[in-house]
Chain A
Amino acid sequence: MEDNKKKPASAPVTEEKIESVGPWTIAWRKFRANRVAMIGLIVFVLIILAVLFVPMMMGINVTDYELNNMNAAPSSAHWLGTDAQGRDCLYRLFLGGRISIMVGLIAAILTVVLGCLVGGIAGYYGGLVDNLLMRFSEIVYSLPFTPMIIAIASVMLWVPQNQKMYTVAFLIGALSWPGLARLVRGQILTLREQEFMQACEALGFSDFSKITKHLLPNVISLVIVNATLQMASAVLTEAGLSFLGMGVMAPTPSWGNLMNLARNGQVFKNYPWQWLPAGIMCLLTVVSINLIGEGLRDAFDPKEIQ
């Protein structure tokens, strides 16, 4: 009761609207003003919605085969035709989108977690820890990315087919964190020398609160931008791997293995509706994610004030 009474008294009476905008608001405003980035965002949201809800609304089951209607051209019943098993191509296109985007997302998250952990620890503690961790990341960084992923993927045959997508995501994440780790480490190294960190030291904050409350917020924009671009490239890598038949395996569709159908000369020539839309969707998705990423980079960049 007492608190309630006190509150109005303690509140300042300045009702003038002096807006104090935080860094997030500024970033969002800049992002919103960036027309190209907004188009990217809208396209990406549309793709996500389509991928999530269109398969549900189509009223088809995964097990719907029309064996008397194979390789049918696009028609009003099947907007993108049917494939060699008489399955609806539009349905599989969107199901495949779920997998492809999911792989990109998981890979990006893994990259961010590993990159931040390794880079953050190396930059913050320095010395021997830094040396060891950076050596380790140099090794991973020097592995030839695509050939290595293909080789490792060809080893991991024991993984059940329905879990293949996680293997692919894991591999991409496990091999692409060193770039981010270097960036984070570099940032932390410069931040560590600044006055506000000395103030933290003087105030006797714990390592944990120094890292989470004072260092991480300063690298978060870098991390977000990187995660976005990372996701775009992970979607591309998945597509390439599955195209070679070493990524996500049929019957699970993904944009990559739908394009894999094009390796069959017959399908490539005569049934383009089976592989072409997957490539276009993949391209659209990656372009939109890249647009968002670049918009974010400009939005977070303190040099670019509009």
Chain B
Amino acid sequence: MLKYICKRLLASIPVLIVISMIIFGVVKAMPGDEVTAYLGPGSKATAEIKEEAREKLGLNKSIPEQYVLWVGRVVTGDLGTSVALKKPVGQIISDYVWNTFLLNAVSLVVALIFAIPIGIRQAVKKGSLEDNFWTVFSLMGISVPTFFFGLLLIFFIGQNVSWLPISGMRDTMLASFGYDSIFQEIGDVAVHMILPTIVLAFGSFATFSRYVRNSMVEVINMDYVRTARAKGLKEKTIIYKHAFKNALIPLVTLLGLYIPSLFSGAVILETVFVWPGIGKILIDAINQRDSSLVNACLLFSAVLMILGNLLSDVCYSVVDPRVKVDG
């Protein structure tokens, strides 16, 4: 297994190199001038200062040279400095990534708490009214644009419920004057999380409950489930112990794919709720042409993507002993 993981990791290096080239190329091609972005809009810098800034940012070299320099810095852990936020990019990402992780992880847990039992019930009562209801419900979950659902929640609930904040992660007053206690801080963040969590959890719930349902439906018709019934086991034991364990396989694969994406942020949703996460800083960085930050964010997401694929394959072979990886 270890050999397989190492092999896969090695194989993903060339993929990552090509992806980094694509990302670098795209960011280079973004309109606007990096020097202007660096000096700030409306600065009355002389041509000399501008030239100095160009030199400092390494913009006078050819594009391939700049790429090589950038890769060299990234490999040694230096992601550059954000020109808009005037902070090292590595620090910005490590600051914001936990906000994204918090929101996504809580949403995932909420989604799973509902999706697993509901998916199982659907499979057991396949074709019933209840099954159809949840099928339509989860279809809505994958069909609604996340930001529209977010807007609806803000419009119908957020505006009418005064204690429910509709944007941000902390109360501005409390955050700037400091919290009285850690519990107050937790409470404040939790309240801010309610609406975005509902939106995210709805989407994940839809995906997971469909998976659980479909794989349970398949498993329930297996011979060994019939055997379990013939042995006279309790229906609960059959469903939860015998059937569900095997129905878990596709779920675990999906989870493997999901875990890295917990860090990479829902770009549009974070923008709607002004949630200070990776997705929102990416959009801000693109709008401000903050190239080193855009580069870093995109690269970060790409690495997570590759890890997710690897992890889901590994999970698959760990959970299902029938699957053999060629090491």
- Would you call B282 and A147 a contact (CB within 8 A)? yes
- Would you call B309 and A148 a contact (CB within 8 A)? no
- Would you call B143 and A146 a contact (CB within 8 A)? no
- Would you call B305 and A143 a contact (CB within 8 A)? yes
Q: Is B102 an interface residue (CB 8 A)?
A: no
Give the residues in chain A near B147, CB-CB below 8 Å.
239-240, 243, 259
Q: Is B29 an interface residue (CB 8 A)?
A: yes
- Would you call B143 and A283 a contact (CB within 8 A)? yes
Q: Which of A144, A244, A259, A275 has most chain B Cβ within 10 Å?
A: A144
The interface size of chain A toward B, counting residues with CB under 8 Å, comes to 38
Q: How far is the CA of A151 from the CA of B298 in the complex (A)?
A: 9
Q: Is B140 an interface residue (CB 8 A)?
A: yes
Q: How far is the CA of A157 from the CA of B287 in the complex (A)?
A: 13
Q: How far is the CA of A239 from the CA of B144 in the complex (A)?
A: 10
Minimum CB distance partner of B29 in chain A: A155
Counting residue pairs across A and B whose Cβ atoms lie within 8 Å, the total is 113
Q: Is A90 an interface residue (CB 8 A)?
A: no
- Would you call B148 and A142 a contact (CB within 8 A)? no
Q: How far is the CA of A144 from the CA of B300 in the complex (A)?
A: 9
- Would you call B298 and A138 a contact (CB within 8 A)? no
Q: How far is the CA of A150 from the CA of B136 in the complex (A)?
A: 30
Minimum CB distance partner of B266 in chain A: A146
Give the residues in chain B near A282, CB-CB below 8 Å.
145, 148
- Would you call B15 and A286 a contact (CB within 8 A)? no
Give the residues in chain B near A186, CB-CB below 8 Å.
none
Stretch from B19-27, B35-43, B174-182 forming part of the interface with A: B19-27
* Interface positions of A from 233 to 263, Cβ below 8 Å from B: 236, 239-240, 243-244, 259, 262
- Would you call B264 and A244 a contact (CB within 8 A)? no
Q: Is B283 an interface residue (CB 8 A)?
A: yes
- Would you call A154 and B30 a contact (CB within 8 A)? yes
Minimum CB distance partner of A280 in chain B: B148
Q: How far is the CA of A272 from the CA of B264 in the complex (A)?
A: 32
Known A151-B26, A291-B139: A283·B305 in contact at CB below 8 Å: no
Known A151-B286, A240-B147: A287·B139 in contact at CB below 8 Å: yes
Give the residues in chain A near B282, CB-CB below 8 Å.
147, 150
Q: Is A279 an interface residue (CB 8 A)?
A: yes
- Would you call B143 and A147 a contact (CB within 8 A)? no
Contact with A along B214-236 (1 / 0, CB 8 A): 00000000000000000000000
Q: How far is the CA of A118 from the CA of B30 in the complex (A)?
A: 29
Binding site secondary structure of chain A: helix
Give the residues in chain A near B309, CB-CB below 8 Å.
141-142
Contact with A along B284-299 (1 / 0, CB 8 A): 0011000000100110
Q: How far is the CA of A290 from the CA of B283 in the complex (A)?
A: 29
Q: Is A268 an interface residue (CB 8 A)?
A: yes
Stretch from B57-65, B70-78, B151-159, B183-191 forming part of the interface with A: B151-159
Q: How far is the CA of A239 from the CA of B18 in the complex (A)?
A: 29
Q: Is B267 an interface residue (CB 8 A)?
A: yes
- Would you call B267 and A146 a contact (CB within 8 A)? yes
Give, as a whole number of angstroms, the nearest-CB distance from B263 to chain A: 11
Q: Which of A142, A244, A269 has most chain B Cβ within 10 Å?
A: A142
- Would you call B271 and A144 a contact (CB within 8 A)? no
Give, as a whole number of angstroms, the nearest-CB distance from A23 to chain B: 23
Give, as a whole number of angstroms, the nearest-CB distance from B148 to chain A: 4
Give, as a whole number of angstroms, the nearest-CB distance from B145 to chain A: 5
- Would you call B305 and A155 a contact (CB within 8 A)? no
Q: Is A139 an interface residue (CB 8 A)?
A: yes
Give the residues in chain A near B297, CB-CB below 8 Å.
147
- Would you call A151 and B294 a contact (CB within 8 A)? yes
Contact with A along B158-171 (1 / 0, CB 8 A): 01000000000000
- Would you call B298 and A147 a contact (CB within 8 A)? yes
Known A150-B283, A283-B144: A155·B26 in contact at CB below 8 Å: yes
Q: Is A152 an interface residue (CB 8 A)?
A: yes
Contact of B145 among A148, A236, A290 (CB under 8 A): A236
- Would you call B139 and A142 a contact (CB within 8 A)? no
Q: Top 4 A-B pairs ranked by shortest CB distance?
A: A144-B301, A279-B148, A286-B143, A287-B143
What would 15 more interface pairs be, CB under 8 Å, given A144-B305, A239-B147, A272-B155? A135-B14, A135-B15, A142-B16, A144-B298, A146-B267, A150-B286, A151-B298, A152-B26, A155-B30, A236-B143, A259-B148, A262-B151, A275-B151, A276-B155, A279-B152
B-side residues, CB < 8 A to A, are 12, 14-16, 18-19, 22-23, 26-27, 29-31, 132, 135-136, 139-140, 142-148, 151-152, 154-155, 159, 264, 267-268, 271, 279, 282-283, 286-287, 294, 297-298, 301-302, 304-306, 309
10 A-B residue pairs with CB within 8 Å: A142-B19, A147-B279, A148-B298, A154-B286, A244-B271, A244-B283, A269-B159, A276-B155, A290-B142, A290-B143
